[in-house]
Chains A and B, each alone.
Chain A
Amino acid sequence: MIEALTLLFGLALLAATAWCPPRWTRILGSLLFGFVVGVVVRFSFGGAGGVVGGLVAAGVAFRFLPLLVLRRVVFLVPALVLLIFATTVLMYKAPGNPFANERASSPQVEAALRAQYGVPKNANQFFGIYMRRLLVEGTLGPSIKVQGRTVEQLIAPAFPVSLSLGLLALTLSVIFGLSLGVLAGLKRNSAADYLSMGLALIGISLPSFVIGATMMIVFSLWLGWLPVAGWGSFKHLVMPALALSLPSSAVIARLARSGIIEVMQQDFVRTARAKGLPESWVIGRHALRGAVIPVVSYLGPAAAAIMTGSFVVEVLFAIPGMGQWFVKGAINRDYSVVLGTAIVYFGMVILFNLLVDLAYAWLDPRVREERA
C-alpha cells in the first residue's frame, strides 16, 4: 500500500516536471546534471575529482546547455530512480526469491546468502542497498545466479554482441523495408505492391524462431553453408541477423508505403512536378524525406529493443548476448540482473528517442522551426 502511494506520488512528481518554470528547470537540471557527472567522474578519478567535476559540470550546464536538454535531465533522473523503485517493488511482489531452489535450504543458509548478496527480505531495504551501491560504490551489484561476477561484468561482454547483431539487423531492415515499402507505395495496386505487402505480412506474422529454425534446416543441415549456431565469426551472424531483421523490415515496409502514398498527394510534390523536376528528383529529394518520418519514429524504440538483444533469437542460435539476461534474470529472480538490464534498456530507449527527435528536426523543416 505504501509502495503504491509512493509510486503514485513519484509519477505525479514526474508529470509535474513538464510544468516546471524555465528558471527552475535550468537550476534543477544543471544540479542533477552535475550530480550525474560527479558520480561518474568519482568512479573514474576518485572522490575529490567527483566533487570538482560535478560542480564544474553543473556550472557549464547552467550556462551553456539548451533548455530542451535540461528539461530532459530534470525528467530523466527522477524517472530512473522511479524505475528502480517500481521494478524492485514488482520483483518482491512476485512469488519466490533468488535463493529458492528445488532442494530446500535451511533458513540459516538462506540468511547467510541474503547477507552475503545484500538481498534483505524487505523491498524498501533492498531499494536502499541498491541505490547506495549505485551511487556510493558505483556498481550494479553482484549477480546471484552467476556467482563471482557483478551485473556490469555480465552485461559488458554481452552488450557489444547484441549491439553488433542488432545494428546489422537494423541496417538490413531499413534497406529491405524502405525499398519494398517505397516501391509498393509508388506502384500502388500493382503486382509489385501486392507482392511486397504479401512479403511484409509474412514477415510480421512469422515469429523469428520459425524463420530461424527454417533457415537452420536449409542453410546448415541441408546445404551446410553456415554454422548452425554459435558465435565467433561473420558466418555465425548471417542467420540470426536475418531472423532478427525480418519482423521489423515488414513493419518498416508498411510504414514507408503509407508514408509515400500520403506524401505523393501533397501540394509541395505537385509544385515540384509542376516546375518540371524529373520524377526521380521529386521522389529522392522531396517525397522521401516526408515519407520516412513515420519510419523514423518507429525506429527509435525498435532500435532500442533490437540492440538490447532478443532472447528468442539468442537462445535459438546460442548467441551470448544481452537478451538472455532479461529473461534469465526474471526467471531466476536475480534481482540485480533484472534491475541492471532494466536500466540499460531505459538508457537505450532514451538515447534512441533523442536521436529520433534530432532526426525529425533534420527531416522536417517545420519541426526545426518550432524548436528554434
Chain B
Amino acid sequence: MRRNLISAFLVLVAALLVVGLTLSRATRGRAAFSFVNGTEPKTLDPNVMTGEPEGRIAQELFEGLTRLEASSLEPAPGAAESWEITPDGKTYTFHMRPSARWSDGHRVTAHDFVYSWRRMQEPALGSEYAYIMHMIRYAEAFNTHAAQADALEGPIVKALDELVAKYHGVVPQDAVREFDSKQRLHGVLKGTPNPKLSAFLLRPSGDSSQTELLELRRELKTEGARRRALHDEAVRHFGVDGGAYAKDDHTLVVELVAPTPYFLELTAFHPFYPVPRWAVERSPHAWFLPGSIVGNGPFLLADWRVGDRIRLERSPTYWGRDEVKLNSAEALAIENVTTALNLYLTGEVDWLPHNNYPLDLSLDLKKRQDFYVGPALIAYFYRINTTRKPFDDVRVRKAINLAIDRESITRDVLLLGQLPATHFVPPGIRGYVPPPTAISYDVAQARKLLAEAGFPDGKGFPKFGILYNTLEAHKKLAEVVADQLHRNLNIEVAAYNQEWQSYLESETSLNYDVSRGGWVGDYEDPNTFLDIWVTNGGNNKTGWGNLVYDRLIEGAANVEKFLAEPAFLLEHAHDRAALKLLAEQVQKSSDAATRLDAIAKLRLALLAEAEGILIRDDFPIIPVYFYVISGLVKPNVGGFYANLVGADGQTRSNLRDLHPLRSIEMKAAGSTPAGSAR
C-alpha cells in the first residue's frame, strides 16, 4: 500500500512538472537580442504609462510623429513625413507618411493622433503624464478645468464658508494658510488671470478680515464659472477644429499656447504616440495585451509573460521595416540586480541598462571593455522641510548646504565619476547656461550662518533626522551626510529609513526634516527639473514657495506672457540687463527663425533665473550629486550609441540611456571575449 502511495505521489510530481513547464516554457528560441528591463511594466498603454521600463517597450511598439535617431537622439521624421512651423513658432502642420501602417494593416492617419491626444487629456483616463501636453491649445482646459470648477464651486467655497463662520471677524494667518494648502488652491488656481486671486495666492503674511474673505469667495465663484466656460469651449474645439486636429487623413495641425523649442522631441515621447481607436474601444483597459494590441512601431508584441519577459518581433507592416535589423528581441523583467548581472555574465542577455547591476561592483565592472559610463539627466538631492523650525530660517538651510563636502562623496563613496551637484539642473543640456551658485564646501561660512541663526557652534540646534527610502545606497549616503553635518556644524543628525510607501506618505504630508529625493528628467530641458518647485506643486513637498520663482516658471512656459508684462520679473531678477537684452532681441527680430531662436534663449534665461533662486537665495533643497548612466553591453551589439553625435557634428552624452532597438544589429558572434567581473 505504501508503495502504491509513493508511486502515486511520483506520478503526481511528474504530471505537475510537465504542466508547469509546458505552461511557462518559452515556445520560441532565444531572441536575437535580449536585455534586462528592470521592473515589470505596469502597462503598455502609451497614454497611461510613466516609467522607464514601460517607455523602453513602448518606443518599439509605437511611433510618434517624430522618432529619435539612435546616433544623435535628435528628432527625425516618424509617422509624419514632413512638417512646417509657422513663423510665430506656435502652429505645426504635420504631413503623414503615406506608407505608415498599423500592425493590422490600417493606415496611420492624422485622426489616430487626434484620438490618442484627446484620450490622453480625458480626465476619466487618469493619465499622470497628461500635463506634458498642456502646451497644446485647449489641452489643459479640457483636462483639468472641469474638476477645478467643481472644486471651486463646491468644496473650496464650502471650506471658506466654514472658515468665516469659525472665526468671527479676523481670520488668523495660519488658518488661511491651512485652508490654502488643504484645498490645494495654488494648483486649482494655476495660471488665473484674476488679479485679486493672484494677489491672494501671493499674499504677504498677515491675518485676513472677514470682508476680504467674502470678496475672495465671490472671486472664487467667478473663477469657477470662468473655468467651466473654458472647459466647455475646449470640449467643443479640442481635436475638432482647434488644439490638435486633422485637416484630412494626411494632415495634422497642432496649435501651441506658446512656442516650445523642444516640441519635436516631445512628439517622439510615449505620451504623444498614437493609439488605435478601434482596438482601444473594443477593450478599453486591456487592449495592450498580446493578441489585442495594435501598434505602428518597428516591433510587435509577440508575447508578454508577467514577471518573466516580453517578446518583441519585427513588424512586417512598419514603413521602415527594411532598416530594422533585429528579427526579435526580449525584455526580461528582473528586479534583482545580482541576477541581472549573472545573466549578462553567462551570456543570457546582451544589454544591462543603467541601474541594473549591483553598484557595489562598479569599481570592478569599470575595468571591463563592455562597460559604458557617462553623465545622466538625473539629480540626487535632499528636500528640506521649510515649514519646520529651525529649517524655516534660510540661513540654516544655507549653512547645511555649505557644510556638505560633495567632492568627497562623489570621490570616495560613489566611485563612478558622478558629479558633485552645486546646481539642481544636471549639466549637458544644450543651450542652457547655469546661473552662478552659492553652494560650495565652506565650513567657516556655514558655521557663521548657523551662529547668526542663533546656534553658535551648533548649540541648541535640535536633533533632526534624514529620511530615506529603504535601500543600501541611500543609507550609505545619508549616513555620510549626517556624519559630515555633525563634524562640521556640531549638530546631531540621524539617518533613518522607511519603506517606499511610508516614505512617500511622510514626504507628502511634510512629516520629515530632511528627506532624500531623486529626479529624472523627462526631456532634455531645464524645465523638467524646475517646474516641480512651484508653490504647492505636487512634487514640491518642501512647503517652500516663492512668488518670483512661480512667475519665472510661468514666464518660461509662455514667453509671450512675460514679454507682455515684463516689469515684475525684471525688477526681481538677478541679471536684469541680460533678460532685458534678450527680451529686446525677441521684439526686434524681424524674421521667424531669429525670433524663435531669441525666444528659446530668453526662455532658458528665465529658467536660469529660477534655478538661481533655488541655489543662491532660498535653498529649499540640498543638491548632492548628478547620476551617471552606466551599463554593460556586449561588444557584438552594433548600432548602440553610448555617445551621441549631433547633426552639427558635436558630440554629447546619451543622458537618458536611450537606445532604440530599431537601429540595433548583432554583429557576427565569436567576437565576445569570455570574461568575468571578478
Q: List residues of A whose CB falls within 8 A of some B CB.
A: 94-97, 100-113, 115-116, 142, 145-149, 154, 157-158, 160-161, 163-165, 167-168, 171, 213, 216, 220-221, 224, 227-234, 237, 315-318, 320-321, 324-325, 331, 333
Contact = CB atoms under 8 A, between A and B. Distances in A.
B306 A231 contact: no
Contacts of A230: 343, 348
Nearest to B122: A112
Contact of B24 (A102, A160, A316): A160
Interface in B241-299: 285-289
Contacts of B19: 160, 164
B305 interface: yes
B24 A231 contact: yes
Interface of B: 9-10, 12-13, 16-17, 19-21, 23-26, 40, 42-43, 45, 48, 50, 123-128, 130, 144, 147, 184, 187, 285-289, 305-308, 332, 334-336, 338-339, 342-343, 345-346, 348, 499-502, 504-506, 508, 518, 537-539, 541, 676
Given A107-B184, A228-B343, A316-B336, A161 B23 contact: yes
Given A158-B307, A234-B21, A315 B286 contact: no
20 contacts: A94-B502, A96-B504, A100-B501, A100-B504, A102-B504, A107-B147, A107-B184, A142-B285, A145-B42, A148-B43, A148-B288, A157-B305, A161-B23, A220-B342, A228-B339, A228-B348, A231-B24, A233-B21, A315-B335, A318-B336
Contacts of B501: 94-97, 100, 331, 333
A147 B346 CA distance: 32
B12 A167 contact: yes
B23 A112 contact: no
Given A96-B502, A96-B505, A147 B24 contact: no
A227 B127 contact: no
B43 A320 contact: no
Of the candidates A163, A228, A237, A317, the one having the most CB atoms from chain B within 10 angstroms of its own CB is A228
A309 to B, nearest CB: 11
A164 B20 CA distance: 6
A116 B19 CA distance: 35
A232 B30 CA distance: 11
B361 to A, nearest CB: 13
A101 B289 contact: no
Given A101-B128, A106-B538, A164-B16, A157 B24 contact: yes
Contact of A112 (B125, B307, B334, B499): B125
A147 B48 contact: yes
Given A103-B128, A171-B13, A227 B348 contact: yes
A113 B130 CA distance: 14
Contact of B342 (A97, A105, A221): A221
Contacts of A165: 20
A163 B15 CA distance: 11
Of the candidates A149, A154, A234, the one having the most CB atoms from chain B within 10 angstroms of its own CB is A149
B129 to A, nearest CB: 9
Contacts of B308: 231, 318, 320
Contact of B500 (A110, A146, A321, A331): A331
A146 B504 contact: no
A270 B238 CA distance: 93
B50 A101 contact: yes
A108 B504 contact: no
B25 A233 contact: yes
Nearest to B522: A103
A268 to B, nearest CB: 18
Nearest to A166: B16
Contact of A116 (B126, B348, B538): B126
A228 B24 contact: no
Given A316-B336, A318-B339, 17 more contacts: A95-B502, A104-B538, A112-B123, A148-B43, A149-B286, A149-B306, A164-B17, A164-B19, A164-B21, A165-B20, A167-B17, A220-B342, A227-B348, A228-B348, A320-B306, A321-B307, A333-B501
